[in-house]
Amino acid sequence: MTGLPSAAEWPSVRGSLAELPDDELPRAGRFLARLDPAEVLAAHPATPFVSLYVTGHGTLAALRPALSVELARHGLLAGITLADFDAWVRDLADPDSDLYTTLAKAEGPAFALAVLDPEIVAAELPAPWRADDAIRVLDAKVALLEKLTETFAATARGATLVLNTLPMPRELTAQLLDRRERAAFGAAWREANARLLRFDRPEVAVVDLDPLLAEGVRARDPRQSVYAKAHLTDDLLAGYAREVAHLARQATGPAKKVLVLDLDETVWGGVLGEAGPEGIEVAEGYRGEAFTRFQRVVRQLGSQGVLLAAVSKNDPEPVAGVLRDHPGMTLREGDFVQVRANWRPKHDNLAELAADLNLGADSFVFADDSSFERGLVRRELPGVAVVDLTGEPALHVAALLRDGWFDVPRLTSEDLARPSRYREEGDRRSFLESFDSLDGYLAELGIEVTLAPAAPAQFDRVSQITLRTNQFNLTAHRLSPAEVRDLAGDSGAQVLTIASADRFGEHGLVGAVLLSRDGGVLRVDNFLLSCRVFGRGIEHAVLGAVLADARGAAVREVRASYRRTAKNGKVAGFYPGAGFATVHADEAGAEFRHDLTRPPEPVPHIRLSAEFGGQES
């Protein structure tokens, strides 16, 4: 990026940043921070926008360019408000503060960043001081933060408060000459950070700065701290901004679900077609150990619900042999949902893999050591996140984990079961091939559907569905776990979950219906269904159950909306196809109405159990 991009050029910014090395990102951030978000949104209304209110104890001007560039790397436009100097307690404690006013006006995901630094403790130590004094101050600060988070949770509905752990300066520990006192001080400081990390509220996220410090990022520059009151270095703030960008990406919806790996020089060393199975580097030798380390990390991700696939320019038989029989391999055939070994362009294989898994390519992360292959994928499939691996395998793990592509606010049982459920899809496809018609297949599949109010243990999963589901998502309204909880507790609303199973196994919680009632009018505020169960009639059976219940509950009519996005075009006709009349339609979407005189016919091949407010049908 050689100069300030115009608002019209915004769509190209993400691709340009992907090619920049880390040491050029600060300069790009300074350019991006000068862009007017209003002008970008006027030129590109569909741009994902994130509101960030930054407050803290010290000078935080360096965060504006850092946040601008880190969010832009993920295609997100940052609207940043910097609070007055040392205003963090007042901002969070006063429900009428600028912080809460700004967050209340935000459209889309909103974050309050309360940036904590060691001076919030050091500034309150007496002169002279002992370890007990520091312990008292630390305890009071954590207690204060607990109260402030309660105020935030009660005031800033739908927003997220971001806190961070406190770096422990040697300048403080070295002032204590007694080793036992120094140890007591260090233990108390770490316990204060541990208490912060244990803040377990859906409205709060805590960024742990210790991993950044462990990688050699300086926490403090004495001159900047003393003269400019900038108590955290620009480098540490840049690392913090990267973590915040990951939180913002999670809140905007599209999530990464699939890690696709090249094989030669990525999963093992050497080229299989040239060296043969006995000549590849894995498990033994310093390079082989590096590849094994990478394989272990990949398998760790797979154990937490990430779908693993491989796309390699190789003949299929040798690849299958290595994954099945090579004694040094950690990754095996069973770890992958698909392995595509052929000589076709990798972007074509990725596109076909996406179609096979019934996922968008923007849910893919692709890792390859070839700059040529990476460039082609970036050009042909711009939604795919590309991980730049180099010829040094010891750096593969850091490159893969750099952007937290698969991070989630809370891992659910559905996440853990995802790989096995996608493997079951292969059995379903084989079963389908044995039938002459789709109707015959569906009739024998034995689909069972349960529609029921969301239980508290399901709020995280319902939130995840609103954040991750893009194709069968009628309004694209994203909800945090806290917002799902509030809706479920609203007497005028209902949050219904959709679970399904068939002869091959459980699909788990695959969808949600959000309802609200105003007198004789029931509104379907949103209807969401996982792409894993498209085309099986589940959506029609569920909507039919909702309409039937409404008809028996003195509802006069049911209203529903469709809001068009770049990815939900296939469901534009869902409500009309179910007997809804169009009330209004334009390029942005449509409003529909059902008078309940002719509810939809039941779906014969689906056995549905529905519960509404304690009554089962």
Tell whether 203 and 302 lie within a shared domain: no
Tell whether 371 and 442 lie within a shared domain: no
Beta-carbon count within 10 A of 558 CB = 24
Asked whether the predicted pLDDT for residue 191 surpasses 80, the reply is: yes
Tell whether 333 and 243 lie within a shared domain: no
Q: Predicted confidence band at 425 (pLDDT cuts at 50, 70, 90)?
A: low
- The answer as to whether 416 is a domain residue is no
Tell whether 140 and 285 lie within a shared domain: no
- The answer as to whether 53 is a domain residue is yes
Question: Structurally, how many domains does the chain consist of?
Answer: 3
Of 215, 236, 252, which residue sits at a domain end?
252
Tell whether 182 and 212 lie within a shared domain: yes
- At residue 7, the 3 state secondary structure works out as helix
335 or 536: which carries more pLDDT confidence? 335
Q: pLDDT tens-digit profile of 565-589?
A: 878 888 888 999 888 999 998 988 8
613 or 245: which carries more pLDDT confidence? 245
Tokens of 595: 């008078």
pLDDT of the residue at 615: 45
Asked if 146 contacts 196 with a C-beta cutoff of 8 angstroms, the reply is: no
Tell whether 77 and 100 lie within a shared domain: yes
Q: Predicted confidence band at 131 (pLDDT cuts at 50, 70, 90)?
A: very high
Q: Are strands 615-616 and 557-563 parallel, antiparallel or unpaired?
A: unpaired
- The answer as to whether 414 is a domain residue is no
Predicted TM-score of the model (pTM): 0.79
Tell whether 495 and 520 lie within a shared domain: yes
Q: Any residues with CB less than 8 A from the CB of 119 and at least 6 apart, and which?
A: 57, 58, 225, 231
Tell whether 234 and 377 lie within a shared domain: no
- The answer as to whether 519 is a domain residue is yes
pLDDT of the residue at 215: 92
Tell whether 245 and 265 lie within a shared domain: no
Of 192, 219, 252, which residue sits at a domain end?
252
* CATH code for the domain of 293: 3.40.50.1000
How large is the C-alpha radius of gyration of the chain? 27
Q: pLDDT tens-digit profile of 84-123?
A: 999 999 999 999 999 999 999 998 899 999 999 999 999 9
Residue 169: domain span: 7-16+23-252
* CATH code for the domain of 517: 3.40.630.30
Asked whether the predicted pLDDT for residue 502 surpasses 90, the reply is: no
- The answer as to whether 56 is a domain residue is yes
Q: Predicted confidence band at 482 (pLDDT cuts at 50, 70, 90)?
A: confident
pLDDT of the residue at 587: 85
Residue 155 is inside which H or E element, if any?
Answer: helix 131-155
Please report the DSSP string for 239-254 in residue order. HHHHHHHHHHHHHHS-
* CATH code for the domain of 50: 3.40.50.1110
- The answer as to whether 540 is a domain residue is yes
Tell whether 231 and 142 lie within a shared domain: yes
- pLDDT, mean of residues 370-383: 92
Tell whether 384 and 475 lie within a shared domain: no
20-29, 52-61, 468-477 — which is least confidently predicted? Answer: 468-477
Asked whether the predicted pLDDT for residue 254 surpasses 70, the reply is: no
- The answer as to whether 2 is a domain residue is no
- The answer as to whether 418 is a domain residue is no
Residue 195 is inside which H or E element, if any?
Answer: helix 179-197
Phi/psi-derived region of residue 433, left when phi > 0, alpha when psi is between -120 and 50, beta in every other case: alpha
pLDDT of the residue at 616: 46
- pLDDT, mean of residues 133-145: 96
Tell whether 509 and 586 lie within a shared domain: yes
